[in-house]
């Protein structure tokens, strides 16, 4: 039955298609002869018509709201709702020590980025080089990536609590308890550390996918030439994976800047002393708790610009290093 049904429907379609091609090619010939005509114009327009839906979706649902948000950031809050206030919101932001802390924490994240990329990169290398138990580790490393940040945060809240297991272990070996999440100098590193732990699985998978495209002959050649493991990594693996590393750099940075909210919310609530604030947490607090949507828009605009600049810079840098290699 299915065969009987599909066969006839395919054939006319094929016939129609070939017929169509024949028609357009003849139309093109005619166009060339007449040096004008609707067919040529239609063909020129066709690509634009075809990409129009995608462009429209991006423009209407992405760029337009973005512009609205930027525009909104130049208006006031509360009684001044809707009136233009120029750069007042931006001035207020940069005068707010809390926002400056949030920005300096972004700087800290950028500094810690190589660590966040190196960990999955190194572990993926080991898995690729088939260290004993690599199959086991491959799944174990990925496991935290399937947990929601809220669950991860709750787990580490318990582990890192003042009377929690980690301090109990430290106490057993005679080291005084540390207030992991209550000390403003330590808490931010704990949150970043937990974030890296929770998300490096994704980057690891991307690295493994990159390794799949690696030419094994290069590795064999390097080994035959007597290269050590660090040398293999430096001169063979890193250059071959530059595209992958570039991708992981950019996605990890974006991940750090935009998806640490859940962890912050659960683990520290921006504290202690506001030391773990990040721009997105600041935006949420201003919008939701302080009833300052316009100020929050200004902070969002700044975060967007930071992401844009950081992302473009990274791509530029990595492209250059990729070319040199």
Partner 1 sequence: MRQRAMWSAALVVGLALAGCGSATGSGSSSGGSDGKLVVWDWKSGEAFAASYLEKAKADFKKKHPDVAVEFVAQPFDQYYTLLGAAIQSGKGPDVMLFNGGGQIRDRVDALVPLDDYVADDRQRLAGWDAFTKDGKVYAGPVTLQGHPIYYNKELYRKAGLDPANPARTWNEFVTDCAAIAKAGAKCFALGNKEGVGIQFWLSIMASATLTAQEYDDWVAGKRDWNSPNVKRIFQLWKEAGDAGMNSDGANSTAMFNDSFAIFQSGKAAHVMGLMSDVGHWQDFTEFLTAEKLGVMDAPVVTAGTTPSLPFDGGIGYGVAKWTKDPKVAADLVRSLTSTDALKAFYADAGAIAADTTIDVSQGGPAVTTIVSEIKSGKPALHVALSSKTLDLMGRLSQQLLSGSITVDEVVKQLATSDQAG
Select 128 or 284, whichever has its Cβ closest to partner 1: 284
Taking CB under 8 A as the criterion, the residue among 39, 85, 155, 273 binding partner 1 is 273
Q: What residues from 205 to 264 belong to the interface with partner 1 (CB under 8 A)?
A: none
Helices and strands, number each (H, E), in the chain:
16, 0
Select 241 or 296, whichever has its Cβ closest to partner 1: 296
- Under the criterion CB under 8 A, does residue 285 sit at the interface with partner 1? yes
Task: Cite the DSSP H helix spans in 143-278.
Answer: 149-160, 165-172, 187-212, 216-224, 229-232, 238-240, 242-258, 261-267
Select 82 or 132, whichever has its Cβ closest to partner 1: 82
- Under the criterion CB under 8 A, does residue 171 sit at the interface with partner 1? no
- Under the criterion CB under 8 A, does residue 284 sit at the interface with partner 1? yes
The one-character DSSP state at 259 is S
> Does residue 277 sit in helix, strand or coil?
coil
- Under the criterion CB under 8 A, does residue 287 sit at the interface with partner 1? yes
Q: What residues from 20 to 79 belong to the interface with partner 1 (CB under 8 A)?
A: 78-79
The count of chain residues that interact with partner 1, using the rule CB under 8 A, is: 31
Q: What residues from 96 to 155 belong to the interface with partner 1 (CB under 8 A)?
A: 98
267 closest CA partner among 281, 253, 257 = 281
- Name, in order, each residue with C-beta under 8 angstroms of 246's C-beta and a sequence gap of 6 or more: 314, 315, 318, 319, 322
Select 272 or 322, whichever has its Cβ closest to partner 1: 272
Using the contact rule CB under 8 A, the part of the chain among 32-40, 44-52, 109-117, 159-167 near partner 1 is: 159-167
* 296 contacts 302 by C-beta, under 8 angstroms: no
Select 98 or 219, whichever has its Cβ closest to partner 1: 98
User: Which long-range contacts (C-beta less than 8 Å, at least 24 apart) are formed by 11-19?
Assistant: none
Select 191 or 241, whichever has its Cβ closest to partner 1: 191
198 closest CA partner among 156, 258, 149, 252 = 149
270 closest CA partner among 254, 288, 295, 252 = 288
Kindly state the smallest distance separating residue 159's Cβ from partner 1, in Å: 12
Taking CB under 8 A as the criterion, the residue among 76, 182, 193, 239 binding partner 1 is 182
User: What's the rounded Cα separation, in Å, for the pair 65 and 71?
Assistant: 10
- Under the criterion CB under 8 A, does residue 318 sit at the interface with partner 1? no
Q: Tell me which residues touch partner 1 (CB under 8 A).
A: 9, 78-79, 81, 98, 160-163, 177, 179-184, 187, 268-269, 271-274, 284-285, 287-291, 293
């Amino acid at each position: 039955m299915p065969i009987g049904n599909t066969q006839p429907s395919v054939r006319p379609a094929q016939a129609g298609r070939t017929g169509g091609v024949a028609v357009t090619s003849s139309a093109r010939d005619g166009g060339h002869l007449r040096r004008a005509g609707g067919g040529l114009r239609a063909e020129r327009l066709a690509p634009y018509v075809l990409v129009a839906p995608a462009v429209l979706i991006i423009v209407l649902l992405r760029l337009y709201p973005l512009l609205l948000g930027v525009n909104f950031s130049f208006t006031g809050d509360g009684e001044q709702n809707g009136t233009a206030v120029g750069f007042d919101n931006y001035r207020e932001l940069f005068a707010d020590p809390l926002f400056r802390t949030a920005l300096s924490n972004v700087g800290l994240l950028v500094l810690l980025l190589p660590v966040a990329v190196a960990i999955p990169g190194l572990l993926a290398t080991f898995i690729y080089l088939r260290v004993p138990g690599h199959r086991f580790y491959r799944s174990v490393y990925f496991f935290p990536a399937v947990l929601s940040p809220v669950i991860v945060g709750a787990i580490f809240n318990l582990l890192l609590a003042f009377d929690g297991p980690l301090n109990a272990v430290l106490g057993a070996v005679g080291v005084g308890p540390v207030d992991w999440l209550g000390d403003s100098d330590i808490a931010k590193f704990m949150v970043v550390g937990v974030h890296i732990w929770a998300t490096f699985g994704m980057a690891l998978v991307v690295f493994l996918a990159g390794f799949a495209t690696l030419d094994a002959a290069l590795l064999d050649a390097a080994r035959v030439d007597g290269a050590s493991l660090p040398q293999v990594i430096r001169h063979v693996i890193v250059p071959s994976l530059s595209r992958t590393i570039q991708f992981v750099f950019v996605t990890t940075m974006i991940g750090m800047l935009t998806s640490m909210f859940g962890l912050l919310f659960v683990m520290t609530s921006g504290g202690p002393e506001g030391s773990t604030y990040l721009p997105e947490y600041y935006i949420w607090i201003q919008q939701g708790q302080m009833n300052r949507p316009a100020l929050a828009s200004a902070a969002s605009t700044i975060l967007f610009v930071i992401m844009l600049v950081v992302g473009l810079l990274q791509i530029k840098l990595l492209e250059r290093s990729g070319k040199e290699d």
